[in-house]
Amino acid sequence: MLESKSLSILSEALGHLEQGFVNLPELENNIDIDALRKVMLAVADKMKDNYPYFHPFYAGQMLKPPHPIARLAYMLAVWLNPNNHALDGGRASSEMEKEAVANIAGMFGWDDFLGHLSSGGTMANLEALWVAGKLNPGKLVVASEQSHYTHHRISEVLGLKYKAVPCDRKARMNVDALEGLLKEGNVGTVVVTLGTTGIGSIDPLPEILNLREKYDFRVHVDSAYGGYFTLIGNLNQHGRKAFDAIPEVDSIVVDPHKHGLQPYGCGCVLFKDPGVGRFYKHDSPYTYFSSTELHLGEISLECSRAGASAVALWATQQLLPMDKKGEFALNLEKSRSAALDLFKRLSNDARFKMIVEPDLDIVIWVIKAKTASQISELSQKMFDLAAQKNLHLALFNLPSELLDDSWQDIEMDEDSVVCLRSCLMKPEHLDWMDQIWNVLDEVAERALDK
């Protein structure tokens, strides 16, 4: 079941790579293969203790297997283990990073920008807010209540004041509430989430940009999860407008390790004004900037970074270019179609109650009951019963403010309600929807069975 056919290309490619170093004196490798084998089999045994993230029946949290090309390119690069801090640490992989990042910027319509890869979205957001704080010292950072929890913490780390903006019933930033805060003055940066981590909701970027005309502030887009969805043709109108407005913002974060088919350790931050590079200036005596060409460590807060991440991303973009209507985009469209399909099936079934129509590929629902606590219990029950049938879902704690008028008849005996949540990140989820539905149907029946 785990794809391994592609492994044969790895030894061929390793032989190819070795040709670049044939002028060196012969080097003998003394490896005790038996010892390696023993440990590797023990590792394989240990790793069995995981959910099957690669299988369409894993339909829970944000986990997506890397593409085989990313896996292979990453492994090949690790034979050299380049460090993209400086060109001396990895000339080829630094070049590949610059190209790969330019491709991502191009996807958002930017060709003049400053950007680089990072270990992930948190680090990328930290850099964006660090620059925002340098430009707007002493001013507030604001983000929606459904924004990633790390924005508050990052602001704390950076010594920036932070405030949360309430959401509307669609889990999107409430623009009136934002304007209320803007009127009080002292807002330096608005973080706009295009694809919230919990619900996949998209903040109304065009309306927020309109407010920028009146109240001057920086706009940072956190699209760690959603960024690549700008390529798809089946967004709703609200989503399309938000993604189309991205070129107007000041900075963007997107995670190739979320929807970009990369192994973990691959985030990306982009700044519209290349001039912000001045904030990164440092004069570390250990650093080895030996040429006048740009070393990525000169524009990055992290020092050592895996060159292999850049190699994997570059290779993936070669195989699957980020074109609208290309295979990469069409596969993302399938994820969204799968979510819309599941939403429709659940909506048409009297046992279930939906929270919001998905903006992206995340579906949230509950089994109907008289009270919030009964609903929460049923969610947990359905989650457990589905897992017994090898179908893995996720749970999500929804604050009662997000519940619309259709919840009036339900007694809210708790401040929040536990919902079922499914991130349909794999294109295969669409083809597997009948099989997924059969299990959901059966376990909902059993959950309701007293």
Ligand X SMILES: *Cc1c(COP(=O)(O)O)cnc(C)c1O
Residues near ligand X, by CB under 6 A:
120-122, 125, 148, 150, 193, 197, 222, 224-225, 255, 258, 267
Rounded CA gap, 416 and 399, in Å?
Answer: 4
CB nearer to ligand X: pick between 258 and 295: 258
Q: How far is the CB of 204 from ligand X (least distance, A)?
A: 16
Residue nearest to ligand X as judged by C-beta position: 121
Nearer to ligand X, 86 or 252 (CB): 252
Task: Give the shortest CB-226-to-ligand X separation in angstroms.
Answer: 7
Residue 311 and residue 74 in contact, taking contact as beta carbons nearer than 8 Å: yes
Taking the complex as a whole, the smallest distance from the CB of residue 150 to ligand X amounts, in Å, to 6
* Closer CB to ligand X, 151 or 345, in the complex: 151
**How near is the Cβ of 9 to ligand X at its closest, in Å?**
28
Which tokens go with 42? 């023990």
Taking the least distance from each CB to ligand X, the nearer of 258 and 305 is 258
Query: Cβ 348 to ligand X, closest distance in Å?
Result: 29
Nearer to ligand X, 87 or 128 (CB): 128
C-beta separation of 153 from 125 below 8 A: no
In the bound state with ligand X, the residue whose beta carbon lies nearer, of 62 and 439, is 62
Cβ 218 to ligand X, closest distance in Å? 17
Distance CA 213, CA 228 (A): 27
Q: Which is nearer to ligand X, 87 or 141 (CB)?
A: 141
Structure tokens at 133: 């704080």
Judged by CB, which is closer to ligand X: 41, or 303? 303
Contacts for 159 with CB less than 8 Å, ≥ 6 apart: 133
Specify whether the CB–CB gap between 176 and 160 falls below 8 A. no
- Per the listing, tokens 């005596």 go with 285
- Report, in Å, the least distance between residue 427 CB and ligand X: 19
CB of 191 or CB of 322, closer to ligand X: 191
d(CA 261, CA 265): 12
d(CA 447, CA 383): 9
> What burial class does residue 112 get, using C-beta atoms within 10 Å of its C-beta: 0-12 exposed, 13-18 middle, 19+ buried?
exposed
Find where tokens 């919001």 sit: 356
Residue whose CB is less far from ligand X, 219 or 367: 219
Kindly tell me which of 187 and 266 has the beta carbon lying closer to ligand X.
266
Distance of closest approach, residue 168 Cβ to ligand X, in angstroms = 18
Smallest separation, CB 243 to ligand X (Å) = 14
State in angstroms the smallest separation of the CB of 62 from ligand X. 7
Residue 144 bridge partners (DSSP): 165
Instruction: In angstroms, give the least distance from the CB of 296 to ligand X.
Output: 19
